Each structure stands twice: as C-alpha cells, then as structure tokens.
Structure 1
C-alpha cells in the first residue's frame, strides 16, 4: 500500500467529513462500530452543515476528489428515503451538471481521435451535459450521400484516466486497511469489491467498448417495448469519442415536465423497473449506471430512453436464477426459498441454519408487503440487513456487486416517480414469466441443448486430451528410464574399469615374471 494512496485516502476522509458527507447517513440503523466512526467524523464538520443540515458544497468536494467519489454521490442522490430529501436534492447535481472542461479543446480532441472522419461532425454545440467521466455535445453528422443527422458526441475528460487510477489506488488502500484492522469487514471482501468496481470503471474509460455495449443491448431489446436506446455511428467512434444518434426526451427527474406532457408517471416507474429486471434476468446484460441523469421520458410514446452505457453489468445463468428466485420468493412470501438460494450461491456459509436464516428474512420481508414505497423506510431495512449479514456471517459475492448497486439506483428512480410503487406487484410479470418459462418445456429444452453443446465441446476435446495423455505418459516413461539408463552406463563403465585394472595387473605380473626369468 503506497504512502501516496494512504495520504489520498486520509485527505478524502477529511474532505468528506468537513463537507458533511457523514451527516446524511442513517446513523440509527448502523452497527455500533460504524456509529462511532460517523460520530467521530462529524466532529470536524463545517458549522454551516451542522446548523442547516444542507450539504450543498458536497458536490464540489466529490468532484474535486475524483470520478469514483462522484459515482458514490450519484447513488446517494437517488435515495432520499435513506439520506433524506434535502441531501438527495443537494447531490442531484452530480448526475449530469458537473463543470464542463474547456470547449476550445474539443476540435483538437476530435481531430486527433477520428482523423479525417472528424470533419463529418459539424455545428458542434457547447456541452449539453457534463458528468465525472465525460461530457456530451450536440452536433450534425454529414455523411456523403446521406441527409444530415443530429447526433450526440460524447468526449472523455482530458486526464480522467489518471484521476481514476489515483481514486482506485486510494480505495484499494482503504479496503486493505479495513481487512487488516477489522475482522468483521473481511467477510465483506472489500478488496474484491473494489477490484470489481475497478474493472467496470476501466471499461468505462474506453468508449469503443461502450459502443459495443450499446450494439449488444440493441440486439437484446429489439423486440421489447417501453425501453429505447440510441444507435451507434461507428465511423465516429474512438477510444475517447463516442457518437450516437440524438434522442429527445424529458429528464426523468423533471416530474413537472413529465406531468405537463401527459405521461403517466406510475407507468413510467414500472417501465424503468421492469426494463432493468428484464435485461438482468432474461439477458444477463444490464445498464449498471441508471441514475436519473442517464434516463429520459419520450414525450410522444411515454417510453424510457436510456443513455450512457459506460458501466454495464453481466451475470451468468446461475446468478440470474438466484436474482429471479430471490425476488419471486419475496413476491410469493416464500422465505424458505429465499434463504435456500442464499446458501446455494454461497452467500451464507453451510454451517448456518437455513431455517433460522429464513426466519431472519421473514422479519425483513413481511413488513414490506402491502405497503407502498413511501411507507417503507429503506434506512431501517438496511439496518436489519446489516444485523443479519453479521449474525449469519454472510459473504460478499463480488460478481453481484454491480447488480446490487444497480438495483439500488433503479429502485430509487422508480420510487421518486411513483411514491406509491408496489415493487413486488411491478416485478412479478417479469420475474414470474421468466421463471415459468425456465421451468416449462421450452426452458428445459434450452437447458438440455446447453448440456448437449457442452457435452459436444467436451467430446471434441477428447482426441486432444488423449494425445496430451499419451505425450505425458511417454514423458513419464522416459523419466523412469533415465535412472535405469544412468545405472546401466555406470555398470558398464565400472565393468570396463575393473577389466582394465585386471588387465593391468595381469600385464604387470607377466612382465615381472619375464624379468625374473
């Protein structure tokens, strides 16, 4: 752990404490050690924060600390039920209203990244949105033989890679410190969690990969309704430049404009939640940064329009089944199923009791049923989860970290659109249909097909395996022969030596006898 990373971590903690970051945490729901830490951090708060409870300068502080800290603030901004309405409002500026970089740099950046193809981008506007990683400009794309097209040009901030690297080194330092000095934190595997986030952020810094993600998701959702994404303009894509079709929409956080356009906010909330669940459970590939700055409502259709696909999540079939079963277990109040799946995937160690864990899950699930979102205190729910994870020695699964973080974001967006949202009722059509399909004949046939494909691939590898086995056996036999060969050579040399000695002795005796004669 480098000294620079440790210093940066300490500096970040000081800045966050000074600007009131710890004042917005639900202290009453935290474990005792975390409560103590928050109280100590609040000792250095600015007086203005203590008096007003407002953290209006926290946006600036997070931006100054770096992109990883901004991402954390964006997540908190979607959860007024956890951090409070005022703090969420103060943090909302992190979503797409960050200070832009100098627009005078844009022509040179485009020219260096795209070469001659940069000339096709004309009438480039000032930044229309600026976030921690990149900013977006509106432009006209003029291709030979085609009508001019309005496009969005996303450009990475200069130097953002270096800032991100410094961020992650500080986070790694914090994770290692936690693992060293807190045995309770080890089960949460903080270093592995940071590694997962590090990987996803590195992908975000290459806009060619974002273009590929848009392309893959477009194929996945081509037959869906209610969720729309832009199209990639591949000739104007580079590592630090991404060009897509322009999408018009109302920012999803602008509730007044959505209402004025006659869009049903309840239906829009359902589309946000169901779209995410469909992508995660059905496709195993989902938008992992669905904060309000990346979501719009189409005023003509009422559909959800998503942008910014820099952070994507991917989960395999077992994890998709885990998510579906967990949600369905809560929907149907089958807490034994929820508990068993946590054991199956390795969240809870095998030595714990499934029945006891099911009882603990019931204590969380039952109070949620029959209540709308505005009557549910997520701070209290999180407090119970803290207690349960500690009681049952639950382990973190790093591959599910992005999924969990994304679900927090999506649920927060849906709750703000529809405070009366019944999450279980909205989720059931997607989750239930997928599970019924998986359990039905078509799902069984697909599973059988996958098993047969794997068996076929394994059978195709058999000749190579046999050849490798024969080669290994030949090498083994050669290795066994080598000691025998060495022994034989030694025996031959010894025999020859003895023969030479005997011959010399006989010759010497003969010569001596001849001399005597």
Structure 2
C-alpha cells in the first residue's frame, strides 16, 4: 500500500473531547487534553534518554555502579549471572533469545544477583515473572517474588511523598490508608477516599528511583556489550538493543503524568469502541504529578483468582477480552502494554473488566497499524517477504535498505518452523514466528520495534487468559474471527496493507 493511501487513525484528542465518561469528573476532560498533548513530547524525551543510557560508555557514576556490581557478582559466585539475567528477560518479552538452562544452581545465582542489586534488576525479574509461555516455567516460578514480594516503603514515607507532591490538593484526600494495597519495584499503591466520598487508589513513586534506574541501565548496557564481544549468541540476540527497549519501557513508568495520559487516552478509546464491559481508571484532575497518581478505584479481582463456581461465562469473557485488545490496537492504535494477570481484573458480580496499571502502553501510527495488519496476513501465509516489508512500515528497517538478504534468511527460518509443525498454523506458532523475525532483524543490526513486541506479548498473554477462563476455547480461531470482522468493516479503517 502506498503511504498516501493508508487510512488515518481516529484522533484520540477528538475522542477525549467527545467522551461522556471523562466529562463526568469536573475538570477532567480539559486536563486530559493537556496530558494527552504534553505526553507526546515527554515520550520523545524518554526515547532519547533511553538510547543515550543504553549506549555502552563509562560515566563517572557507572564506574561506581560497575564496582558495586562486580562485588555483587563475586559475592554470588556468578560471573555469568548478569548475562543470564538479560538473556532470559529478553526472551520473556518475546525476543528470540535462548534462555539459559534453568538448573537449580543457575536459578539460585541469578536470583541472588537480583536480590542484591538495584531496582532495574528487579524490574527485569518482573519481566521474567510474567513471561508465561515465553520462558521455561522454572524461570517464571523462580522470579514470582519480583512481582509479589517487593518490600514496602518505610511507614510514613509514602504519606510524606503525597503531602509534598500534592500540596494544597492534599486536603481533598479525606483518608489515606497507611498500609499499601500492593508494592512493586516502581512504587506502591494505597487506598484512599476523597472528601466527596470517591474511593480512590493513590500510586506513589519510590523516592530516588530515577537516578538509581539510570545508573543500573548504564551498567546493564556495559554488561550486554561485554557479552556480545565474547558470545556469538548474545551478539545474535542483540542484547544491547534489548537494553534500550527495556530502558524506554522502564523510564516511561517513572513519570506518572505519562500514565495519566495513557489512562485518559485508553478510557476515551474504549468508550468510542462501545466497550462498556471494559474500563480503565480515570485520574483525578489536580492530583497527578510525576511522582503521585490519584485515580478512581475500580472493582474486580485478578482473573486467575476468579471462583469457578461463580457461574461466569468464560467464552464471553474471552471474546470480550480479545476483542478489546485487538480492536483498540488495530482501530485506534492505542493499547495497554502489559496485560499480565495482575493487570486484568474481573468483577465477579457483573463480569466486567477493569484494566489497571497503565505505566506501559503501546501506540501505533497509521503506517504501523497498516504494517501490523500486513504482518498478520504474512504470518498466516508463512510469507517472509511480506513480514519484512511490514517491518519497513514499523520503521524497524529503512525504506532504502536492501531486504533481499533478510527475506532469504527469514524464509529459511520459517520453512524450518513450518516443517516442525507439520504445516499446522497454531497460536503458539505466532510467538515463534515473531521470534524468528526479531532474531533476523537483530543479526542485521536493525532496531526492535517496541510497540510490535508489546502487541505480540499481549496476544501471548491472551493464551494464559484463555487457559484460566475458557480452557477449551481455540484462541487462534477467536483472534482470527475478530480480525476478519474488523477487516470486513469499512468504518474500522483497518485495511490490508
């Protein structure tokens, strides 16, 4: 498709202005537009910073961090532990990296390194803990503590941050629970209540986190570069490229104003889709800063904790969940970037979804949306050329680059994969095929398209969702049906590239 023929995406700022749900909270629609527009520049700044931090070089603070990392590595008797951590974390986001063998000794050494290191290492552990279907179960189980057992801040620290950040607006919080609902590597959340009776969640960033993350990322960049010097597998996997991808995802989570923009954008998109059974929390205007985010409390429990005896329609839940993810991505180009079980809540009383924790969100341009549709069609047909051409739409490969060597190399990989599958097209093959593509791109020095990785990881999350709510369902068939419906609807703007 000629770029001039690619249909534009619906304008999210227009959807915000038209949103009745956002207008229900006084002042939110106006503030939402400011968050939406300011976030464009903030995300660009984050992307540049991530690229700088992931470029291997020795900064004064990196030298100090390297020294402390060296002592940690010596202390756990695991010189290969940093490289093993990076490899398995890269595999956990869908990149074609062979994770190290999950022996008891290796698992123990890498865990000790993460426990002894900074917050970026714990964040990598969280990637592993949510890598079901992408890395061996032993790794997922071993790092579950990174997701569930982050130590809470000392008593009173969160309240001090809230008082400082909100200033006079702090008076609107009639009650703030001293005990956190949950604590993570980025921050922790507390229940609260506004003076008007609105139940809210207050998210607080851990103090001093940005500086520690920067130093950790610089150190990881050096570790990745060192691995690529001596290890052909690390070089082929482009671990330095993964560090940049990780840095961008992590740094975006460190600014709650970006999360507020993700929340209002997603709320407007879900409403425009008519997805009445799927909600995102609305931020409270005047109560969002870089380090504090106050938002409404939505009902629900993680879908893995649903009571089988509750009588919920699992097939309906599955179709609603998949449609929400696929349609938001392909019709509007905006989607939740981290749909693991803890971020997808279901209200047992109504069967409605609440999507939470929007620190990571995916965003596609119109060209990327067309490229994604092109890729999905090429994947179904085992067409290497189509997949490579789709990557040009994503900006992963320059328009002027010669693609013939990539096409030939990828086709050999796909033919080998198809032979192993006896010609069957399965949902699991989607992840394997994407992995082959990303590996070929990495070997030729091309960048990893962040939003493509996030979308495909979400599709793989849906396999886990299906196993919980509708274990007999054919996930691939449901995805294909929804894609065909979107492609057949001229108003969707989703056309085959």
1:118 matched to 2:178: no
Looking at both structures, which has the greater relative contact order when contacts are Cα pairs under 8 Å and sequence separation is at least 6?
A: 2
Q: Which moved further from structure 2: 108-117 or 347-356?
A: 347-356
Of 195, 200, 206, 1:142 maps to 195
Distance in 2 (CA, whole Å) between partners of 1:343 and 1:74 is 31
Is the 1:117–1:235 Cα contact (8 Å) retained in structure 2?
A: yes
Which residue of the other structure, out of 91, 100, 113, is the alignment partner of 2:152? 100
Q: Give secondary structure in 2 for the equivalent of 1:94.
A: helix
Q: TM-score, normalised by structure 2?
A: 0.70
Gapped regions of structure 1 (runs ≥ 5): 448-517
**In structure 1, distance between residues paired with 2:80 and 2:195:** 47
Residue 240 (structure 1) shift: 1.1
In the TM superposition, what is the alpha-carbon distance from 1:160 to its structure 2 partner?
Answer: 1.6
Q: Could you tell me which residue of structure 1 aligns to residue 447 of structure 2?
A: 397
- Residue 282 of structure 2: aligned partner: 231
Measured in 2, the distance between the counterparts of 1:4 and 1:326 equals 44
Give, in angstroms, the shift of residue 231 of structure 1: 1.0
Q: Distance in 2 between matches of 1:202 and 1:387?
A: 23
The whole-number CA distance in structure 1 between the counterparts of 2:337 and 2:483 is 19
Q: 1:496 matched to which residue of 2?
A: none
1:6 counterpart (58, 62, 66):
66
Cα distance per residue 1:201-226 (max 9 Å; x no partner): 22321212211221111111113324
Give the Cα separation in 2 of the matches to 1:406 and 1:66.
Answer: 28
> Is the Cα–Cα contact under 8 Å of residues 70 and 132 in structure 1 kept in the other structure?
yes
Residues 421 and 64 of structure 1: CA distance in aligned 2, closer, same or farther (over 3 Å): farther
* Pairwise CA RMSD: 4.2
Is the alpha carbon distance of 1:78 and 1:258 closer, same or farther for their aligned partners in structure 2, counting shifts above 3 Å? farther
SS at match of 1:170: helix
Q: What displacement does 1:416 show?
A: 5.1
Which among 244, 249, 258 is matched to residue 209 of structure 1? Answer: 258
2:388–2:406 Cα contact (<8 Å) kept: no
For the 8 Å contact 1:329–1:337, the answer to whether it is kept is yes
User: TM-score, normalising length from structure 1?
Assistant: 0.67
Question: If you compute each CA radius of gyration, which structure gives the higher value, 1 or 2?
Answer: 1
Q: How does 1:71-470 map to 2 (within 5 A)?
A: 71-125=123-177, 126-143=179-196, 148-178=197-227, 180=229, 190-224=239-273, 225=275, 226-254=277-305, 257-331=306-380, 337-342=386-391, 347=397, 349-352=402-405, 354=407, 357-358=410-411, 360-364=413-417, 367=421, 376=428, 381=432, 385=436, 389=440, 393-398=443-448, 400-405=449-454, 407-408=456-457, 410-415=459-464, 417-418=466-467, 422-436=474-488, 443=493
Over 3 Å counting, the alpha-carbon distance change for 1:95 and 1:306 in structure 2 is: farther
| Contact preservation (8 Å) 1:288, 1:403 | no
> Aligned pair in 2 of structure 1 residues 332, 384: CA closer, same or farther (>3 Å)?
closer
Mapped to 2, the partners of 1:244 and 1:23 lie a distance apart of: 34
- Quote the Cα distance in structure 1 between the aligned partners of 2:130 and 2:205: 24
Instruction: Please state which structure has a larger fraction of its residues in helix.
Output: 1
Taking the aligned partners of 2:77 and 2:323, their CA distance within structure 1 comes to 35
Q: Which runs of 5+ in 2 are unaligned?
A: 1-56, 92-96
Q: 1:119 Cα deviation (Å)?
A: 2.2
Residue 130 of structure 1, CA deviation: 0.9
Provide the rounded CA distance (Å) in 2 between the counterparts of 1:164 and 1:291. 23
Contact preservation (8 Å) 2:487, 2:494? no
> 1:4 & 1:357 partners in 2: Cα distance?
42
1:167-189 Cα offsets, whole Å, 9 max, x none, are 21112222433455567766765
SS in 2 for 1:299: coil
